[in-house]
Homo-oligomer: A and B are copies of this chain.
Amino acid sequence: MDFGEAAAVIRSALDAEQLCLVVGACIVRYEGRAASKLSEGDRLLVIKPDGTFLVHQGKGMTAINYQGPGAVVKAEATNEELVVTAERSKPMREVIEAHFKRIDFAQSFYMRDDSKLKLFGSERELAKLLAQDLHLIEKGLVPVQEESSLPKGAIDILARDALGHLVVIELKRRDAGLDAATQLARYVSELRKRKGEVVRGILCSPKITPNALKMLEEKGFEWFKLDYEIANPSAKIRGLQKKQKMMTEF
């Protein structure tokens, strides 16, 4: 397939709001929030009707070069190459150029798709479940709605314990690291200052790194091992266990 034909395919795809696929050897240049250069190699170019522009190599999950939705795509053919550009101004002016030196394939496809992904086991879903079963953490714990969203971020779950003390619960669907412990500390600290009362902090996650656990202990926070299961229609919390290094080790 020659460059002129490929350019025509791309233009017609853009015009008809169709997905366009191009396979061939190309060089890619990008300049915008950063800048990059990719020397010649065989790649797949995906152009979507919304302006999305993806350059994929033969391996790895992520596109090696890309432009997000909202880009204006153009195709220009000469005798020596096909240049496909995508330009946008949204976060800032950004341009990507793919210079094809060889075209193996170029075709467009009409894709009708109104479906949205249904996802189960998100943190949001787990938080909802856990808020209804706070006794799994501790007897007498009740959820509170008030003030659960600070100007500095939203608290996953806010509750009061049997003594009436505020409890900030930070939930992580996967292993917690320093960032999670830090985030919890920030919320607790902010709430203490704001309310001027005793505030406890609890981190719930399937696992935790040693450093993060150490930080929790130093700050007097607690960690609960979260055991949950992802059934297909929804998620279920199997249990919560307080697992913390004791100060008194035998």
Contact = CB atoms under 8 A, between A and B. Distances in A.
A230 interface: yes
B19 A21 contact: no
Interface in A28-47: 29, 31, 33-44, 46
A19 B31 contact: no
Interface string A180-209: 001100100000000000000000000000
Contacts of A99: none
Interface string A105-125: 101011111111111111000
A242 B166 CA distance: 39
Interface residues of A, number: 68
B113 A42 contact: yes
B230 A34 contact: yes
Given A54-B61, A153-B178, A232-B37, A44 B21 contact: yes
A79 B50 CA distance: 35
A80 interface: no
B61 A66 contact: yes
A72 interface: no
Nearest to A53: B61
Interface in A140-169: 151-153
A119 B61 CA distance: 18
A5 interface: no
Contacts of A69: 59-61
Contacts of A58: 19, 48-50, 111-113
B59 A49 contact: yes
Contacts of A46: 44, 46, 56
A110 B114 CA distance: 33
A108 to B, nearest CB: 10
A57 B151 contact: no
A209 to B, nearest CB: 10
Given A38-B116, A41-B111, 15 more contacts: A34-B173, A35-B231, A38-B117, A42-B113, A44-B46, A46-B56, A48-B58, A52-B60, A57-B111, A59-B69, A61-B68, A104-B109, A151-B211, A153-B178, A179-B179
